[in-house]
Structure 1
Amino acid sequence: MNIVFKVKEQLATEDVLVMTHPVKQKEWPQFRQAIEQSGKMLTVINGKNNRNSQIPINSISSIESEDRLCNLRLVSGEMFLYNKRLKYVEEEFAVYGFIRINNQVIINCKEIEQFSATTNARIELLMKDGAAYFISRHYIKTFRRVFS
């Protein structure tokens, strides 16, 4: 297999264009998985032993505010601390498919199992790891824009 890199200025900075021969179309899921697994690593704090660890961003299910830190809940159920405030994390992780759903939580859109309308014009999210969150009325427009 030959790998050729070319530049296309019309693409957004977070996009990657992969072109293959039609015969290779069956291998696209493998290519996608390889590219996604090579994603950005994040340095986090393990709360149990106060040591730094490296985790891939795509393994994060949700991010919750905790004072001046953030709790990161991984798909595996593990919890880590991230030494940034939620408003800065929101900007940093937006390109990876994360959206803010209320004043305390940012979620990974790829980890949503289902969502449904509830009372008081709110939406309840059920994540693949079993966690449930509510989208506040203030953030519903953003959520609908992402999923329309």
Structure 2
Amino acid sequence: MRTLAAVTALFFALPGAAHAEGGPDLVGSMAQMAGSLMLVIGIILILYYLAGRLLKMPQGNRGGYIRVVETKHLAPKKSLMLVEVGGEYLLLSNSGEGVTLIKQVEMLEEIEVVPEGVGGLVVPDRLKDKLAALKGVLPRREAPLEQLRKSGGCA
């Protein structure tokens, strides 16, 4: 901060020194313009810093009672939103005219929210159980490779 003040004072002092020695007026004008520019940029940066500190907006959903569970975009400026408010699920319509309540949804099971960017396939436990049950019920039809070749089947 001290170096910025020293450089600014130097730029403001140069035009007077150049004019006193009888040097060209152009050097003094350029130095004064550069000093003024640095002063304005410094004021802008200080105001930006203070605005960021004083007007800090809450970021993210820090333990709030409202969360958007899912959003499906239907058309430009039209979407459906499933919102949880205090343990109740609401289906909302969002359009250019506003937000309207379609219905209150009764959820028998908790919806698992998976953060975006998580790799891999997430399969719910109920689906895994059903797939395992189907796997045990369906007969296995595995024919040895030699039987397929003898019968003319594709291998």
TM-score interval (norm. to shorter)? under 0.3
Rg larger for: 2
Larger helix fraction of residues? 2
* Higher RCO (CA < 8 A, seq sep 6+): 1
